[in-house]
Amino acid sequence: MRFTPEANEALARAGFSRRTFLKGAGVLLVGFSAAAVGERTGLAQGPFGTQDRRVARQLDSWLAIGADGRVTAYTGKCELGQGMFTVQTQLVAEELSVALHRVHLIQCDTALTPDQGTTSGSQSTPTNFNHRNLAQAAATAREALVGMAARKLGVPASGLALEDGVIHAKETPAKRVTYAQLVGGRKFELEVSDTAKRRPASEWTVLGKPIGRIGLPEIATGQFEYVHNVHVPGMLHGQVVRPPTVGAALAGVDEHSVSGLPGFVKLVVRKNFVGVVCEKPWQAIQAARALKATWTPGPPLPPQAQLYERLRSQQPSRDTLVVDSGDVDRTLAQAATVLKATYLYPYQMHGSMGTSCAVADVSHGKATVWSPTQSAYPTRSGVAMLLGMAVDDVHVIFKQGAGCYGLNGADTVSYDAALLSQAVGRPVRIQLTRKDEMVWENFGYAYVLDQRVGVDAGGTIVAWDCETWSPTRGNRPGYGRPGNVITGFLAGFEPEPFDARAATPPTRFRNGANAAPSYVAGCAGGTCDGAGTVRSERVLAHQVASPFFTGPLRSPSRLQNTFAHESMMDEVAAHLKADPVAFRLKHLSDPRLADVVKAAARRAGWDARPSPRPGNPRTGVVHGRGIACVAYEGDNGYSALVAEVEVDQDTGRITVTRFVAGQDCGPISNPDGMRNQIEGGALQGMSRVLGEAVTWDEEKVTSLDWRSYHSLPVGIRVPVFESELLNRTDVPATGAGETVITIAAAAIGNAVFDATGARLREAPFTPERVRAALAAR
């Protein structure tokens, strides 16, 4: 095994030399494979077989205590800007009763850390806090250390206390022993215990505290090493030459057009993948611009104005009947009132502030990739497939890059670097241009959503019918499959196809991607596990082919579905002249979701009345408030959001003035971090609904920079934020990163309706669309 400086440093910190590690005496396990270990361990199933379950069960796979008493912990969940590095460090410090600064966390390195799949879906907290992973490993270590101390000191375990890496007798504190004296520099040689008791929240001294973000001072002072700052001896620099239009194929390339340029090293061509390698970054940029390549045009793109009609008219590649009570048509026919509406949502992009970057060193039959990927092990598998190498000969080291929360250019640039490095046999660094980042990333899904809601004579919803159409390219989000991102596709790998299948009723309710509204009962297989009271329910989702690469963008599909569900809920309440909060509570059966709605409304000083607000003029600036809520599917939390807006009815411009959130994610590991997630999610959701949309002409994507892709500009008026955090310590921890962003669009749209009486059913809410909706009131 070839060790990087990071690996050698980690071994030294844990109290091991490289020599003893290779002899098998070290705590770190070389045998982490691309595969996974399975169910309830949080280690994802990979394409190259299954890792020996004993590896993940070994305590030494997760923790080491060095000769100096410092703790080294290993995690497969990466810091992407969401604060997970800090809270995982807090978790280990808490369970082992040591000071925070004595814990060193190593993340997402395929030579050092467990395979925990992809850091996505807000699953890092439930994975490492609830399941048999990092938290349980730390609890196991603590109990093991107490047992060792009891034997060494001749004191029963119940008579011992722990304090900052020291175990002492309660009655005779002078009788003590340190962690380092017990196990420093040696293995535990234990399996992670399912029965090891976690420290109760009532005793927390590190967890649950608003500890500042680890690494933030280094970021603020320019000392933090992002992937962009990685330099390897002998490193060259590359650039890619993407096709000029979507679907174009390479017809020819003239190497003589660049071979005489300063610093030129090599032209790399693999099917439709084209790249150049030079001595310096600017030389590579110049060579990419100067390269003469000819391309065969691809088929014309569908007109953007016809996007939503085409989604409906295409033959679906997959139909999913998420839930079906079997009586929706009959119940709707018997309803006193049936309301219908259609909601539209565009393709959107991650639009990372910094472009993606990676460094690869492929030589002597081995590959090392420094990557900002959210999925170290799946990316290792993808690189191995791309390069035709054995997976165990590929080493992926996560280095933080630009924030994305999904599949921006991080994976594709890692593949770019690997291909270029393999071609020259030396390390290659590549940083994408702004255009290549934005035009060729995996876009968030566009959607058409039809809603039909039946109401009885007493004003109660009795049936909810939802049918959606969404374009996708590739079966999985892209992680670990080269053909699901542009580099692998150009190099000859096909996107993973969907297995077409007919729509069939599920055997149990599965609110995948929050396709079903929060107000349905979710009854299937004899049980009801939805959050609502509506028992006549049907959700049919069609997936159709996309001309663009698609993939997860923060709250993938959940945001789009919830925008339609929560807007429709408001439409029904307005039709019945019911208060939006009271009407939601009437149709909720889950007390945790009801509690966050009440908390947000109470904190916001909610004015209980129907919408729209009476007495607002039809010109000038008006004000309104709206609410939305969600029980985010999977191991995620409950959230409600109140938005207050100003609408200039003359210009159509919307200004969000205040957000108030209520959130329940179980026990709160770091309230400051949770507020950061709430505020960041609300801002990103606001940006997406007020301005963001991918644009294209008949050949190519035209939203290729900040002038043509309209995210929130610098210098905007930032809303006031308030958060009501419901800290429940008697339930498992859930994810928080994708809850509030999911409901921001609907909360803003509902607030605009309250202010103006105009319903916005198509995102983004541009001034032109607002003025059109106002004119149609």
**DSSP states along 366-426:** EEEEEE--S-HHHHHHHHHHHHT--GGGEEEEE---S--SB-SSHHHHHHHHHHHHHHHTS
pLDDT of residue 529: 83
Pairing of strands 273-278, 236-240: antiparallel
Mean pLDDT of all residues in the chain?
90
Res 602 pLDDT > 70 = yes
Angle at 88 between CA 680 and CA 412, to 5 degrees: 60
Which of 14-23, 137-146, 190-199, 670-679 has the lowest average pLDDT? 14-23
The domain 308-347+445-775 is classified under which CATH number: 3.30.565.10, 3.30.365.10, 1.10.274.50, 3.30.1330.10?
3.30.365.10
Res 600 pLDDT > 50 = yes
Q: How confident is the model at residue 32 (pLDDT cuts 50, 70, 90)?
A: very low
CB-based contacts of 384, cutoff 8 Å, min separation 6 = 34, 48, 367, 390, 391, 393, 394
Residue reference for tokens 């542009």: 486
Give the whole-angstrom CA distance, residue 719 versus residue 729.
30
Question: Quick one: average pLDDT of 54-66?
Answer: 88
CATH placement of domain 42-205: 3.30.365.10
Res 31 pLDDT > 50 = no
pLDDT of residue 9: 57
Which of 127-136, 156-165, 635-644 has the lowest average pLDDT? 127-136
Q: How far is the CA of 184 from the CAs of 101, 240, 454, in angstroms?
A: 17, 48, 66
Give the whole-angstrom CA distance, residue 34 versus residue 48.
6
Give the whole-angstrom CA distance, residue 496 versus residue 482.
9
The two domains 42-205 and 308-347+445-775 share their CATH topology (first three levels equal): yes
Give the whole-angstrom CA distance, residue 482 versus residue 478.
7
CB 565 within 8 A of CB 545: no
CB-based contacts of 249, cutoff 8 Å, min separation 6 = 243, 272, 295, 296, 298
Over the Cα atoms of the chain, what is R_g? 27
pTM (predicted TM-score)? 0.92
Residue 612 Cα to chain centre, angstroms: 35
Question: Quick one: average pLDDT of 606-624?
Answer: 97
Q: How confident is the model at residue 58 (pLDDT cuts 50, 70, 90)?
A: very high
Res 23 pLDDT > 80 = no
pLDDT of residue 8: 55
Res 474 pLDDT > 60 = yes
Res 767 pLDDT > 90 = yes
Q: Could you tell me the two tokens for 719?
A: 């809303």
Q: How confident is the model at residue 56 (pLDDT cuts 50, 70, 90)?
A: confident
Res 763 pLDDT > 80 = yes
| Three-class DSSP category at 164 | coil
pLDDT of residue 55: 66
CB 372 within 8 A of CB 398: yes
Encoded amino acid at 684, one letter: Q
pLDDT of residue 414: 98
DSSP labels, 289-353: HH-EEEEE--PPPPPGGGHHHHHHHSPPSEEEEEEE-S-HHHHHHH-SEEEEEEEEE--B----S
How many helices (H) and strands (E) are present in the chain, helices listed first?
A: 21, 26
Q: How confident is the model at residue 715 (pLDDT cuts 50, 70, 90)?
A: confident
pLDDT of residue 633: 84
User: Across the strands, what pairs with 464?
Assistant: 453, 537
Q: How confident is the model at residue 690 (pLDDT cuts 50, 70, 90)?
A: very high
Among 673, 680, 657, smallest CA distance to 752 is for 657
Q: Could you tell me the two tokens for 265?
A: 């090293």
- Listed by start position, the domains of the chain span 42-205, 234-297+350-440, 308-347+445-775
The number of beta carbons lying within 10 Å of the beta carbon of residue 693 is: 19
Pairing of strands 447-455, 337-345: antiparallel
Q: Which residue has the higher pLDDT, 626 or 497?
A: 626
CB 756 within 8 A of CB 624: yes
The number of beta carbons lying within 10 Å of the beta carbon of residue 57 is: 18
pLDDT of residue 546: 96
The domain 234-297+350-440 is classified under which CATH number: 3.30.365.10, 3.20.20.70, 2.60.40.1180, 3.40.50.920?
3.30.365.10
Give the whole-angstrom CA distance, residue 388 versus residue 159.
58
Which of 404-408, 452-456, 713-717, 734-738 has the lowest average pLDDT? 713-717
pLDDT of residue 511: 60
pLDDT of residue 10: 52
Q: How confident is the model at residue 53 (pLDDT cuts 50, 70, 90)?
A: very low
DSSP labels, 707-736: TTS--PPTT--PPEEEEEEE--TTS---B-
pLDDT of residue 166: 97
Residue reference for tokens 């290729």: 704
CB 160 within 8 A of CB 153: yes
Q: How far is the CA of 341 from the CAs of 17, 161, 577, 676, in angstroms?
A: 66, 63, 18, 34
pLDDT of residue 7: 52
- 3-state SS of 120-131? CCCCHHHHHHHC
pLDDT of residue 480: 76
CB 237 within 8 A of CB 280: yes
Residue 397 phi, psi (nearest 5): -115, 115
pLDDT of residue 427: 98
Tens of pLDDT, residue by residue over 505-548, are 443 444 667 788 999 998 766 778 889 999 999 999 999 999 99
Question: Quick one: average pLDDT of 243-255?
Answer: 98
pLDDT > 70 in the chain, percent = 90
Residue reference for tokens 């499959």: 481
Tens of pLDDT, residue by residue over 558-595, are 999 999 999 999 999 999 999 999 999 999 999 999 99
pLDDT of residue 673: 96
pLDDT of residue 132: 75
CB 179 within 8 A of CB 146: no
Q: Could you tell me the two tokens for 346?
A: 């565009």
Q: Could you tell me the two tokens for 443?
A: 């876009």
